[in-house]
Structures are given as C-alpha cells and as structure tokens.
Chain A
Amino acid sequence: AQSVTQLGSHVSVSEGALVLLRCNYSSSVPPYLFWYVQYPNQGLQLLLKYTSAATLVKGINGFEAEFKKSETSFHLTKPSAHMSDAAEYFCAVSDERGSTLGRLYFGRGTQLTVWP
C-alpha cells in the first residue's frame, strides 16, 4: 500500500530564505512521486515529479526535490523563497506500476507562509 507523510502542517520562512518541505513515503512498489502546489480556491498544479530517472528532480518556479530511497524521502526545496510561493503544498505517491490506474495518495499538505 502507498502512503505519504508530510512533516509539519505549517512552515514559515522569510523572503529570500531556504524553503524545505518534508515528505516521506511508503510504497510496496517502486514509486512515482509528485509535489503539487495549491493556491486558495484553485486546483492543484504540478511542481515536479520523480519517475525513476534522475534522483534530483528540478521543477517549476525554482523548486527541486531529491528522491532518497534509503530514507524513503522526497523533500522539496527552494534556495530562496518568494512571496508568491505562499500556498499549500502536497506531496503524493502513485502506484503507477500497480493495478489502480495510477491513483494518487496525498499527504496532508503543508501550508507555506513567506514573511516579507
């Protein structure tokens, strides 16, 4: 079975500071991993995804994440936070190679606040 744990429901950083959002996963098969961003009253936008190629994945808006199998982690980082990064972030795992048509299993989400 697949599951995702996001450590920290709220993260606050100053503008220009490093952003680190934590995600650990559990998967019975080699996982596909995703990070999504959600702005208020909107759907989810894909930031980046890991699909068994390079372990360091670069996404949009300067975000990147590193897949660490030994730690079952897929933490999201950005070197310098911008005010526009304030949003809800969701980590998700997919059983792409399984039988349930690639359904996504989401973490609880992390609300990122960026202070000026």
Chain B
Amino acid sequence: GAVVSQHPSWVICKSGTSVKIECRSLDFQATTMFWYRQFPKQSLMLMATSNEGSKATYEQGVEKDKFLINHASLTLSTLTVTSAHPEDSSFYICSARDPYTEAFFGQGTRLTVV
C-alpha cells in the first residue's frame, strides 16, 4: 500500500512553546489529509480535514488558532500545536488519500508537553 510518513514519532516540549508535526505522502499525491488525536485507550478523534491549497475544515470544538494546519503541497501537510500546554499531550495521527483509494495512516506522533 501507499506510504505516509509522519515526523517526528515523538516529541517533548516545554509548556508555552509551539510544535510542528509533518505528514508526508511518499508515493502518491494526497489531495486530502486528515488529522486525528487519540487519547490513551480511546478511539481516534478527527480534528480537521484539509485539501491541498485550501484552508482546513475543523471539527466542532477544535480550536483552529491552537492547532494550525497547512496543506501547501500534494505531498505535505503540517500540524502546528501553538502555545502547547500539558493538556495538549496526546497521540496525533495523520492520514492521507487521493481520490481513488482509501486513506493511509502515518505512524503517529506522541506529544508530551512538560
């Protein structure tokens, strides 16, 4: 199947700083990318959907100024957690798809804010 690479796989940052997570589709053009958040022992919660070159569509309750999503090219989307706080600590997963196949998932990023 197609490969989606997410980087970094884990990151620790200080409270108040910003963290950027990258999601790349390595062998296909990702017209749509999805960002999820997963709490321990829970399911995936969709945060936002982005199309290449367009503004992301955020799910209800997700702060767009807190979680900045950029999908500037067909192979790269980034999620920036701004002014991170301990409650933002979580597992973040991206997925990417083109119009012809199902979505493929990155390996996830474990964010710990201290």
Binding site for B on A (CB under 8 A): 32, 34, 36, 41-46, 49, 90, 94, 100-104, 106-109, 111
User: In the complex, which residues 43-88 of chain B have their Cβ closer than 8 Å to any Cβ of chain A?
Assistant: 43-44, 46, 49, 51
A5 to chain B, nearest CB (A): 11
State the Cβ distance, B51 to closest chain A Cβ, in Å: 7
Least CB distance from B32 to A in Å reads: 5
B93 touches A102 (CB 8 A): no
Q: Are A34 and B102 in contact (CB under 8 A)?
A: yes
- Name the interface residues of B1-38: CB closer than 8 Å to any CB of A: 1, 4, 6, 9-10, 32, 34
Choose from A42, A43, A46, A106 the contact partner of B102 (Cβ within 8 Å).
A46
A41 x B110 contact (CB < 8 A): yes
Please, which residue of chain A has its CB at the minimum distance from the CB of B9? A41
From A41, A100, A101, A109, contact of B43 by CB (8 A): A109
Which A residues are CB-close (under 8 A) to B1? 46
Main secondary structure of the interface of A (DSSP, over half): strand
Q: Which of B88-107 contact A (CB under 8 A)?
A: 91, 93, 95, 97, 102-107
**Do the beta carbons of A106 and B107 come within 8 Å of each other?**
no
Shortest distance between the CB of B30 and any CB in chain A (Å): 11
> Would you call B44 and A49 a contact (CB within 8 A)?
no
Cβ contacts under 8 Å, B32 to chain A: 101-102
Residue pair A43, B97 in contact (C-beta under 8 Å): no
Minimum Cβ distance to chain A for residue B102 (Å): 6
A46 CB contacts on chain B under 8 angstroms: 1, 102, 104
Q: List 30 A-B contacts (CB under 8 A).
A: A34-B102, A36-B105, A41-B9, A41-B10, A41-B108, A41-B110, A42-B107, A43-B6, A43-B105, A43-B106, A43-B107, A43-B108, A44-B44, A46-B102, A49-B102, A90-B44, A100-B49, A101-B32, A101-B49, A101-B51, A102-B32, A102-B97, A102-B102, A102-B103, A104-B95, A104-B103, A106-B43, A108-B42, A108-B43, A111-B41
